[in-house]
């Protein structure tokens, strides 16, 4: 069953990619958008584009790794109908001396950043008696990619956390969805130096996500051909899956 369209929306990682596309998708008269992003210059461009479409929009260069600042921003933005925990980073490392800081940097954004966005939002939505939370994971959450171990692990956390919270929060009339896109055109995927099957533009991805959220889908995974490939890998004997994945390209 379709739910009422959200009017008060907070999106992290809104300065590019899926976050930017979602902001522009929802932007319209009567819509309030609170947007965060690391690139303040690009974020202001997105804010201006949303305002040009008639929305009330504000940009905040608040890092999702700052728990206190995120909690304050969410509280100051209430009431909220929809919170999208979209901020995320990826990348590789050049040598093993960089491994530990590389892992911790990605985990700080992709794991702690989800906590810092979702947890205060969930508490406020429980008190207000309604709301929706979307957590952007990835198709990489379904398999352990040797070339992007922490990215896969962090996105698996994001997906499982969202899917677990969905059951916990349903009785409070708070809806939760895990978003699992394949390759989407963004500054993150622009760094990849390998073929990206079923690459999709961000605007199309935003439309799929928004329709899934309106239908209250617990898991919004797309494109279906990429999902089918992930499912196939999951069904193969693990030694064969591991052998195949070791031949996949690593993140730059």
Active site residues: 151
249 vs 246: CA distance, rounded Å? 8
Collapse the DSSP code of 60 into the 3-class scheme (helix H, G, I; strand E, B; otherwise coil) and give the result: strand
Q: Phi then psi for 221, rounded to 5 degrees?
A: -115, 130
Q: How far is CA 135 from CA 115, 196, 237, in A?
A: 10, 23, 30
Q: Phi then psi for 59, rounded to 5 degrees?
A: -110, 140
Measured at the CA of 142, the angle between CA 83 and CA 167, to 5 degrees, comes to 45
Q: Phi then psi for 185, rounded to 5 degrees?
A: -60, 120
Hey, how many other C-beta atoms are within 10 angstroms of the C-beta on 234?
11
């Amino acid at each position: 069953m379709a739910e009422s369209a959200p009017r008060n929306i907070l999106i992290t990682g809104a300065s590019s990619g899926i976050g930017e596309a979602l902001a522009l998708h929802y932007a319209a008269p009567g819509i309030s958008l609170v947007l965060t992003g690391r690139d303040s210059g690009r974020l202001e461009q997105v804010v201006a584009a949303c305002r040009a479409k008639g929305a009330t929009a504000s940009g905040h260069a608040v890092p999702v790794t700052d728990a206190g600042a995120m909690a304050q921003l969410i509280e100051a933005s209430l009431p909220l109908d929809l919170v999208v925990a979209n901020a995320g980073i990826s990348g590789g490392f050049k040598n093993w001396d960089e491994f530990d800081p590389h892992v911790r940097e990605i985990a700080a954004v992709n794991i702690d950043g989800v906590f810092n966005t979702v947890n205060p939002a969930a508490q406020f939505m429980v008190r207000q008696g309604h709301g929706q939370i979307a957590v952007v994971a990835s198709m990489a959450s379904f398999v352990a990619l040797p070339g992007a171990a922490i990215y896969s692990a962090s996105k698996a956390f994001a997906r499982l956390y969202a899917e677990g919270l969905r059951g916990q929060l349903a009785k409070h009339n708070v809806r939760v969805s895990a978003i699992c896109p394949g390759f989407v055109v963004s500054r993150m995927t622009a760094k990849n130096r390998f073929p990206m099957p079923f690459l999709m533009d961000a605007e199309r991805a935003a439309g799929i996500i928004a329709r899934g959220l309106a239908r209250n889908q617990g898991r919004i995974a797309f494109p279906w051909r990429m999902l089918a490939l992930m499912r196939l890998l999951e069904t193969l004997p693990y030694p064969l899956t591991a052998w195949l994945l070791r031949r996949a390209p690593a993140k730059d």
